[in-house]
């Protein structure tokens, strides 16, 4: 769930940024999306992409831990019954 929320929010922010760029520079939304991907991601962005990947790793690990806890909880309930 946390990973899903991460991707959803990432995409929404991407679209919002592209929308504003396209409104400001008078080009289409598709061009705005492409521009963000190919032009604005510069060399120094590698630091931020690393940060983004760290965030993604956090999400995946948290999701796995939550899933394991849930599974354990279900098993404990099953044993009691």
Site size toward another protein (CB under 8 A) is: 31
* DSSP code for 40: S
52 touches another protein (CB under 8 A)? yes
64 touches another protein (CB under 8 A)? no
Residue 34: count other Cβ atoms within 10 Å of its Cβ.
13
SS3 25: helix
Rounded to an integer, what distance in angstroms lies between the CA atom of residue 24 and that of residue 18?
Answer: 10
Which residues lie near another protein (CB under 8 A)? 1-2, 5-6, 8-10, 12-13, 16-17, 20, 23-24, 36, 40-41, 44-45, 47-49, 51-52, 54-56, 58-59, 62, 66
């Amino acid at each position: 769930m946390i990973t899903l929320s991460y991707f959803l929010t990432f995409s929404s922010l991407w679209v919002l940024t592209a929308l504003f760029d396209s409104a400001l520079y008078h080009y289409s939304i598709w061009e705005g999306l492409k521009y963000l991907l190919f032009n604005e991601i510069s060399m120094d962005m590698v630091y931020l992409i690393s940060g983004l990947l760290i965030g993604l790793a956090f999400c995946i690990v948290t999701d796995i831990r939550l899933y394991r806890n849930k599974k354990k909880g279900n098993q404990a309930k099953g044993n009691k019954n």
